[in-house]
Structure 1
Amino acid sequence: MMVQYQKIKDQYPDAFLFYRLGDFYEMFNDDAIKGSQLLELTLTNRSRNPENPVPMCGVPHKAVQNYIDILVDQGYKVAICEQMEDPRLTKGMVKREVIQLVTPGTQIDVGTQNAKSNNYLTAINYDSNQAAFGFSYADLSTGELKVAELSTSAELINELVSLQTKEAVVSGDLPNSVRETVEKLGILISHQPSLPVNSSESYLSQDVTSPLLKQVIKLMLDYIQSTQKRSLQHLKRAVVYEPSDFLELDHNSQYNLELTRNIRTGKKAGTLLWLLDQTKTAMGGRKLKQWIERPLVNRTRIEERHDAVGVLLDHYYERNQLQDELIKVYDLERLAGRIAFGSVNGRDLIQLKTSLKQVPKIKYILEQIADKSFKDMLDNLVPLDDVVATIENAIVEQPPISVTDGGVIKDGFDDQLDKYRDATKNGQKWLADLEAKERKVTGVNNLKVGFNHVFGYYIEVTKTNLDKIPADRYQRKQTLANAERFSTPELKEKEALILEAQEQSKVLEYQLFVNVRDQIKASIKQIQALADAVASVDVLQSFASVSEEYRFVKPKLTTQHKIAIKDGRHPVVEKVLGHQQYVPNDVDMGSDTSVLLITGPNMSGKSTYMRQVALGVIMNQMGCFVPAKSATLPVFDKIFTRIGAADDLISGQSTFMVEMKEANDAIENATPNSLILFDEIGRGTATYDGMALAQAIIEYVHNNIGAKTLFSTHYHELTSLDETLNRLQNVHVGATESNGELVFLHKIQPGPADKSYGIHVAKLAGLPNGLLNRANQILTGLEKKEAHGKPGNPATQPAEARESSKSGHESAANTEEQISLFPLEKVDDNQAEVVSQLKNLDLMSKTPMQIMNQVYKWQQKMNRE
């Protein structure tokens, strides 16, 4: 047995081998040692030889899926090795084979928690002649298969991160630098030797003409075939896409705008997906996520979605009826996948039948609305009455989970099965009659007829009654502590008939179930088309429901280069704060305005204002209504964001380097039809360096790109740029002082802010009064120095003067010298220490929670006196 085990294990060296032994899957050697740790199993030994024990651990076969999921979720592969013969009918070693290799990218049993998420397997190859990447991704649970040609490694990494893939199948020609980057992202890299071309590969790639893309599809399909070892019938024909077919959002922008994942928690709550998701089906939830991550750029398709949402919004009762029917629709896409894979059970088929019964009702409701916006969906909403009838005739209404233990097929479906069942039923009656008869003949009232899998049927008599049994008829089978078990010639005869009927019944019933499954398998493509239509309807009704609840409006698309939003809102922040507390704002960027320079104090809402513009654009191009009183928007081709401060731990880059790289990405790739959000560019370095870079970036974007750009800054000196840049407009977030207290108005007003209110914000954070008073003294001194022409502002100096200005380090030293001019006689030791720590605190390297903790420590120190 161990020789057989090792031969199989050698074929899967990078996977845990689950080796079937009876009712358990066993692991041996290194697999057992590591598996016992990861799965918290008891580690034992196969061999009793103390000099060479074989480490061993195992899991019950009925609970194996849970253990597989744990390993795969941690990035491991699991090879499932099954017994291919009945041990009872086999002499010698039972034949065993790996029937499936489960990997992070091929996992199809995703569970209810991930029902609304895709699990994508990706494949990558490289053509050095074209300097291009072939890229493909597939979801085995739904059959989705897409392919694209990418020209740069940056585009490739962006696709991998955006898809949140856990596994990439790579070819041998992939550059090492790209391979290393993929590994640093935590993506499992797998390899696959080429297999002979088969008919399914030819069918799936028939719409693809590029040799590079055909190769990457083959790489993907070869890997799926070799790991899953079963039909690929549910995979859809490969669809070629271009990133430019959609609104381009790099993974940094998706992250910064919190489209599907919350920055702080990594969860769905607090994201745009969380707000918009009122879908009633799992496949609708997945499609919504896809629409959020890939908004449209085709004006006609965007307007079709807008029109459909408008129709559903205007038909309240029909929409409610639609929702009632959608709730009864199960995950048709994944049901189709399980049918093709052969892993479907009786309950799955009942779910399929229930779902298909809702289709005529959904179609009828949409036909009553009678709008051309739903034409494509209506064409694919084809009731599959033959599939419903097949399941209705064959499968019981409440089948067991197992398809091999019987009880799945209805009575009357098959004559032979009914005969077996009748024999089993009559046999049970005969056994009951036998028990009554033997009690009467022997006079033993507690005599009973029973069954176990080892000894079969028996008559059990307690030892106190053994003298009453007829020795000529009763043949001893088993001795227990307090009883004896016997058989009789007629019991033996009946036992053979009953057991044969039960066994043959289970075998026949499973064959009948497989036949039903194969009949339905022929309709997989129709089920998938139907699923896609239902999912689209579900997303559109979700848009309508959310638009009604939160007072979104239908945007007007314009071919002019302008943004006009009246009373725009950040939809997620508004939901969290409540409508009454949220302050809406206008956005007015005509064709003559390309840059909006936004100033104002910290925490006043500059970043929220910028994000709400981007979210409004994304929602518009998804086909949803937008959070505003009215909105006129162009169709953008790309969105770039540089928001927040974070290190890139993967590549070891500092906050400022990340900031500059993201700014460069926008500058290199933006077009006049793009949207750029720059938040506090330049704050990660010395004041003059940062200010100079910020000004140069604004000038470059204004003069060379012309994209709609929102640029927030604390460098108030930059507001004078409106004198030289005619398409730049200054706006600020209003704030006012009342009795020495700062009040944020959260309202965008024309013109620059008059000051930054930094010390007021520090007061709101709770810094000690003594410290704040000292800060005010220092600020007054610095302002006096600047009023006398020192040290000067590089943003307002000519280029020649800026070139000869002091370096960042010299500027910092100059500032330290100015601070030291102010006496500290009135400051005690604790206050002096706090001022010193405040002066040296690197804010950009701290999280908000770390800063709050530091402020709390300062308060404690100041209060000790």
Structure 2
Amino acid sequence: MAKSKTEETPLMQQHKAIKARYPDAVLLFRVGDFYETFNEDAVIASKVLGIVLTKRANGSASFVDLAGFPHHSLDTYLHKLVKAGHRVAVCDQLEDPKMVKGIVKRGVTEMVTPGVAVNDKILENSQNNFLAAVHFGGDVTGVAFLDISTGEFYIAQGSLEYIDKLLQSFRPAEVIFARQQQKHFRQTFGSRFYTYNLDEWIFTGTYAREILLKHFETHNLKGFGVEEMNEAIIAAGATMHYLKDTEHPNLQHITSLQRIDQDDFLWMDRFTIRNLELLQSTVEQGKSLIGTLDHTLTPMGARLLKRWIVFPLRDIQKINERLDAVETLIRETELTHKLQQHLRNVGDLERLVSKIPLRKINPREVMQLARALKEVEDVAALLSDIQDPLLRQLQEQLDPCRPILDKILVEISDNPPVLANKGGVIREGVDKTLDDLRAIASSGKEYLLRIQQQESEATGIPSLKVAFNNVFGYYLEVTNTHKNKVPDTWIRKQTLANAERYITPELKEYEEKIVGAEDKIMALEIQLYDALILALQEYILPVQRNAQALARLDCLLCYAYNAVQYKYRRPVVNDNYHINITEGRHPVIEQGLPPGESYVHNDILLDHEQQQVIILTGPNMSGKSALLRQTALITLMAHMGSFVPATAAEIGLTDKIFTRVGASDNLSGGESTFMVEMNETASIINNISPRSLIILDEIGRGTSTYDGISIAWSIVEYLHDMTEHRPKTLFATHYHELNELENTHSRVKNFHITNKEVGNKIIFLRKLAPGGSRHSFGIHVAKIAGMPPQLIKRANEILSQLESQHIEAPMEQIAAPVQKMQLSIFDTHSDTFKAIREKLNDMDINRLTPVQALMKLSEIKDMIQ
């Protein structure tokens, strides 16, 4: 039967079948030494990777788009595709093409998505790569965070606001949820995350518990302390399903499930994390708190420090344990230096051990693992005589895993190749068969040279040489000049223009030995290496504990370094309700000052009895916002267990830090600056407690002056009078009218940032002083910003006119309820305006085209004229 002209080639039929199972992924299809992409995948690959898009025949009459790259470039191109937000399915050849007739069997060996990545080129050393799952229950929402590259697995449940905060803190690379909850997710959390939705049946309690119990090989989840967290368990089960669904069956390094309890940590909503610039600056090229404080020496320490920043402690005993350990490390200078040296050599132990079950750890990484375990042993020895409880606890967690460490050092060569199939991985003396085969391969080649010399002397052919090709193996080559000297026992295999090629029985015998030995060496080395990896799997849990202990030690050493380097002091954290900071400084701004310039420190006192609310006024650019932020950051750092940038600090235990700083639109959400401001402020007002610290900066400036003053005024009154919580509050404002509150509210105190006028110039002294200020010097700021002189001159003229007319309302009017003052163009009873109102009432604005709307507007304009 004749072949159809439109029939696809067998290769494309195979590709089509595999692609059908992964329709939403870019399929990298291995063909020989290349990974090829076809059709729409090829178009994506060519754009993202910058590779050539071509066409190839698919049967006798059709063509398909094609784009490919060499297989050894997989890591580079895979990284680019995933970073561009694509899911990628890697399809490999599952058979040796040399051993197969016809089409080679292929299958997807790995599925890579932004949240499921273990490739070093995709991952950032200092950042986790979390996959998150969200499950919306009734009143409670569950969330799970899993980093397949480290084995960390966390779950939590609570309000939508709490889950939003956790998402902001963990910053997952990918979030999954049930397909029918997609709209709810978008409305709640917006489009800040890369997302993927799954079938609804995956998000059920029965299935989730089944998959988790099967993985952890337990009868229940009580051992993890999460048995009653139903919504969180469902989210956790969905993450495990997703890993299996994306071709990640070997997950032995995920050994535990940790719960996150809201009451264990100082609460900061996502606005506060953003406003305090804890993880990233809001300005280009700006520095964040983590960027300033992070002097960790290991990748796992850097990742842990981020969590310590966004999850500060609320347990005074645990805070003081960290502070005690830091004090010990500062005092024990020599010990600290030695510990730092050892940690520098550890590398990323956490991610190294996670590669073992995934079978992605190479021989060179195995040797790095051994070196890290040796450093573990040395660190444990250094800490053995330390009396500090926390450092002692870390020392007890360290286990150098001597049996497997010795096995690695005995079996793996000192400088192994990156790939196990390149040979030279296993040391001599490990396996007798391997040693014998190596001797045969080595001596066999030497013997070939002896054959060449021997036959050359016997035949009198001086130019005789032994060579090799893939067609008929080893051969003897004789030039035409000497071919009459060739013995009859030689077998001619090939005639060339200037020479003849022959084989002999002796040559073939040694060839079989040599070639066979090299193949057997390769197979045996891989077998021995695989056995070592299997043995390593028994030590995954103790090595992970080592990594966790070293990460905590790394963070404590980082705290000690910062304290010494930046002259930080130990805070006193107690059960009181006040914050008393002496000579406090902003940790980030201080490090960004030009050489020789010192930060102007300030004292701050907030308490429940005398000074609950500070109204802070002062000129633009004088340092009000910096003072607000530094107070919050010093409080935060104290709860992290870190020394703080101050001469002294007594910090009453704080359960929540709220900030409302700056102004920004949420254009994609259809919210104005003022709406965003009010949303964030409402979140604060509705969640305060007696131990809260509230930082408010310029509340109300997103609306008209009178509205803004009214809202700011009422917020201060509410925080002072209408709630029994008495939260400690710092309120920076340009509304100088708020200074009047000090006269009527006993716990409201006015302060200002000082300045000095020298001639026509304003010098900002950046010192806090009692009393309010009535000047913003906005025009002066405009001048130094580079506004044209004529514009500045006109602004001063207008300011003088406004001040002379006393445009500001008397304070007694603001203190009392004010009547609505806004006028409407329709408050008049003229016939014209009645007609305009009727015309507008008759309009169906939802059906008007833009052109029709302009015409209607023109008609109304004509009516007014």
Which bracket does the TM-score occupy, shorter chain normalised?
0.7 to 0.9
3-state secondary structure, aligned to 2:437: helix
**CA spacing shift, 1:630–1:490, aligned 2, 3 Å:** same
CA distance in 2, matches of 1:37, 1:409: 43
Shift of 1:806: 4.7
Are 2:588 and 1:572 aligned?
Answer: yes
Instruction: Tell me the secondary structure at the aligned position of residue 524 of structure 2.
Output: helix
Matched, 1:498 2:514: yes
SS at match of 1:369: coil
Q: Aligned residue for 2:164?
A: 157
SS in 1 for 2:421: coil
Amino acid aligned to 1:143: G
Structure 1 residues 595, 796: closer, same or farther in 2, change over 3 A?
A: farther
Q: Output aligned runs, 1:367-378, within 5 Å.
A: 367-378=384-395
Q: Take 2:89 and 2:15, find their aligned partners in 1: how far apart are those partners? A: 12
CA distance in 1, matches of 2:583, 2:475: 83
In structure 2, distance between residues paired with 1:435 and 1:419: 24
Distance in 2 between residues matched to 1:635 and 1:380, nearest whole Å: 30
1:829 paired residue number: none
Deviation, structure 1 residue 48: 6.5
Q: In 2, distance between residues paired with 1:453 and 1:58? A: 28
| Inter-partner Cα distance in structure 2 for 1:282 and 1:175 | 35
Counterpart code for 1:527: V
Q: Which residue of 1 aligns with 2:215?
A: 200
Counterpart in 1 of 2:236? 217
Task: Determine the C-alpha separation between the residues in 1 that align with 2:489 and 2:245.
Answer: 62
Spell out the pairing of 1:167-178 with structure 2 (5 A cutoff).
167-172=174-179, 174=181, 176-178=183-185
| Percent of residue pairs bearing the same amino acid type | 38
Which letter maps to 1:346? Answer: P
Cα distance, 1:482 vs structure 2 = 7.4
Match of 2:291 in 1: 274
Answer whether contact 2:133 2:176 (CA < 8 A) is retained: yes
AA aligned opposite 1:698: V
Q: Distance in 1 between matches of 2:812 and 2:380?
A: 63
1:140 alignment counterpart: 148
Partner in structure 1 of residue 346 of structure 2: 329
Aligned pairs for 1:529-678 within 5 A: 529-577=545-593, 578=595, 580-592=597-609, 593-678=611-696
Unaligned runs of 5+ in 2: 1-10, 827-865
Any idea what SS the aligned residue of 2:805 has?
helix
SS at match of 2:107: strand
Counterpart of 1:108 in structure 2 is 118
Q: Which moved more, 1:296-305 or 1:765-774?
A: 765-774
Counterparts of 1:448 and 1:270 in 2: how far apart (Å)?
A: 68
Q: Matches of 2:476 and 2:674 in 1, distance apart? A: 84
Paired letter, 1:797: I
Quickly say closer, same or farther: Cα 1:449–1:321, change in 2 above 3 A: same
Give SS of 1:115's match: coil
Q: 1:796 to 1:547 in 2, by over 3 A?
A: farther
The letter of the residue matching 2:191 is K
Q: Distance in 2 between matches of 1:478 and 1:711?
A: 96
Q: What is the alpha-carbon distance in structure 1 between the residues aligned to residue 812 and residue 27 of structure 2?
A: 66
Q: TM-score, normalised by structure 1?
A: 0.88
Query: 2:261, 2:648 → 1: CA distance?
Result: 32
Aligned residue in 2 for 1:709: 729
DSSP 3-state at the match of 1:565 = strand
Q: Is the 8 A contact 1:322 1:365 kept in 2?
A: yes
Task: State the alpha-carbon separation in 2 of the partners of residues 714 and 753 from structure 1.
Answer: 9
Number of the residue aligned with 1:689: 707
Counterpart check, 1:250 vs 2:269: yes
CA apart distance, 1:496: 1.8
Q: State the one-letter code of the partner of 1:768.
A: P
Aligned-pair Cα RMSD in Å: 2.5
> What SS class does the counterpart of residue 685 from structure 1 fall into?
coil
Question: Which residues of 2 match residues 356-371 of structure 1 at below 5 A?
Answer: 356-371=373-388
Q: Tell me which residue corresponds to 2:139.
A: 131
How far, CA to CA, are the matches of 1:463 and 1:792 in structure 2? 115
The one-letter amino acid of 2:512's match is A
| C-alpha displacement of 1:45 | 3.0
- Go from structure 1 to structure 2 and tell me whether the alpha carbon gap of 1:795 and 1:528 turns closer, same or farther (over 3 Å shift): farther
Match of 1:46, SS state, is strand
How far 1:400 moved relative to its partner? 0.3
Q: Which is worse superposed, 211-220 or 518-527? A: 211-220
**1:352 and 2:369 are equivalent in the alignment:** yes
Residue type matched to 1:399 in 2? P
TM-score, normalization by structure 2: 0.88
Q: Which residue of 1 aligns with 2:801?
A: 781
| 1:328 Cα deviation after fit | 1.2
2:539 equivalent among 523, 529, 547: 523
The residue number in structure 1 matching 2:834 is none
> Which of 751, 769, 780 is matched with 1:749 structurally?
769
Query: Following the alignment from structure 1 to structure 2, what is the Cα–Cα distance between the partners of residues 713 and 641?
Result: 14
Q: Counterparts of 1:759-770 in structure 2 under 5 Å? A: 759-770=779-790
**Aligned: 1:725 with 2:741:** no
Among 331, 341, 346, the residue aligned to 1:314:
331
Q: Is structure 2 residue 259 aligned with structure 1 residue 240? A: yes
SS at match of 1:336: helix
> How far apart are 1:459 and its partner, in Å?
4.3
CA deviation string 1:169-193 (max 9, x = no partner): 2124536221465572241214266
Note if contact 2:580-2:605 (Cα within 8 Å) is conserved in structure 1. yes
Q: Distance in 2 between matches of 1:368 and 1:41?
A: 60
How far apart, in 2, do the equivalents of 1:99 and 1:377 lie?
Answer: 39
Change in 2 beyond 3 A, CA 1:460/1:236? same
Change (3 A) 1:768 1:38: closer
Point out the more displaced range, 645-654 or 339-348.
Answer: 645-654
SS where residue 302 of structure 2 aligns? helix
Do residues 39 (structure 1) and 49 (structure 2) align?
A: yes
Provide the rounded CA distance (Å) in 2 between the counterparts of 1:737 and 1:791. 24
Distance, in Å, in 2 between the alignment partners of 1:467 and 1:695 is 114
| Offset, 1:67 | 1.0
CA drift of 1:721 comes to: 0.9
Deviates more, 1:49-58 or 1:512-521: 49-58
* TM-fit CA distance, 1:249: 1.8
**Structure-2 change in CA distance of 1:118 and 1:805 (3 Å):** same
User: Contact 1:33/1:55 (CA < 8 Å) preserved in 2?
Assistant: yes
Shift in Å, 1:503 = 0.8
**Cα distance in 2, alignment partners of residues 39 and 482 from structure 1:** 49
Q: 1:42 to 1:475 in 2, by over 3 A?
A: farther
Letter in 2 for 1:3: Q
Residue 808 of structure 1: CA displacement?
A: 12
Of the three residues 276, 280, 283, the one matched with 1:264 is: 283
Instruction: Tell which deviates more after alignment, 776-785 or 760-769.
Output: 760-769
Shift of 1:254: 1.5
- Counterpart amino acid of 2:733? T
Q: 2:86 aligns with which of 76, 79, 90?
A: 76
Q: Tell me the CA shift for residue 650 of structure 1.
A: 3.4
Say whether residues 1:187 and 2:187 are aligned partners: no
Cα 1:724–1:395 change in 2 (3 A) is: same
**CA–CA distance in structure 1, aligned partners of residues 280 and 499 of structure 2:** 65
Q: Which moved more, 1:181-190 or 1:580-589?
A: 181-190
How many residues align structurally? Answer: 800
Please give the per-residue CA displacement for 1:109-132, whole angstroms capped at 9, x wherever unaligned: 2349711110000112222xx332
Say which SS state the counterpart of residue 797 (structure 1) adopts: helix
Give the Cα–Cα distance (whole angstroms) in 1 for the partners of residues 777 and 742 of structure 2.
22
Q: Which amino acid aligns with 1:250?
A: D
- C-alpha distance in 2 between matches for 1:181 and 1:474: 82
User: What is the distance in 1 between the residues matched to 2:508 and 2:308?
Assistant: 67
What is the CA–CA distance in structure 1 between the aligned matches of 2:736 and 2:470, rounded to whole Å? 86
